[in-house]
Amino acid sequence: MARQERSAGFLIFHRSGSDVRFLLLNYGRHWDFAKGHVDRGESDLEAAVRELHEETGIRDIKLIADFHQEIVYFFRSAKHGLIRKTVVFFLAEVSRTEVILSEEHVGYDFLTYEAALKRATFAAGKELLRAAHARLMREESPTPTS
């Protein structure tokens, strides 16, 4: 039986006019989003907010309340064997692009949707970007009038 782990994180984006850019973090061997383990007693959102601050220094966010995506994957740990990991992602906008990286990361970039899709290392990350982009495009689509 696989050991269960749960993490939470954010897809962060910044708007400048009609330009939308997504934050990707360079973990040294891959590019991904800010995320980390949910501590005992924390909600998924509390963990995501804490991890975002720890990994990027970002505190001031505007949560997109109707975006909530989960990914599940398996990996093998030398210490614990097979792990089934569930990661819950939220979507939030930031007004500034200053980032203070934790020691976990070697770099970061705010990228256009197309560039972020190319840079994201994992297929699940690309799917998250597609879902976030689709959600943001719905927001910008004009509502038909009768």
Contact 52/93 with Cβ under 8 angstroms? no
**Per-residue tokens: 109:** 């970039």
81-94/62-77 β-pairing: antiparallel
State residue 2's pLDDT score. Answer: 85
Can you list the residues of the chain whose pLDDT is less than 70? 140-146
Around 57, how many Cα atoms within 13 Å sit in the side-chain half-sphere? Answer: 10
Residue 46's Cα: distance from chain center in Å? 14
State residue 139's pLDDT score. Answer: 73
State residue 140's pLDDT score. Answer: 62
State residue 18's pLDDT score. Answer: 87
Architecture per CATH, domain 3-140, reads as: Alpha-Beta Complex (3.90)
Cα separation, 72 vs 120, in Å, equals 17
Cα separation, 136 vs 52, in Å, equals 20
**Extents of the domains making up the chain:** 3-140
State residue 146's pLDDT score. Answer: 46
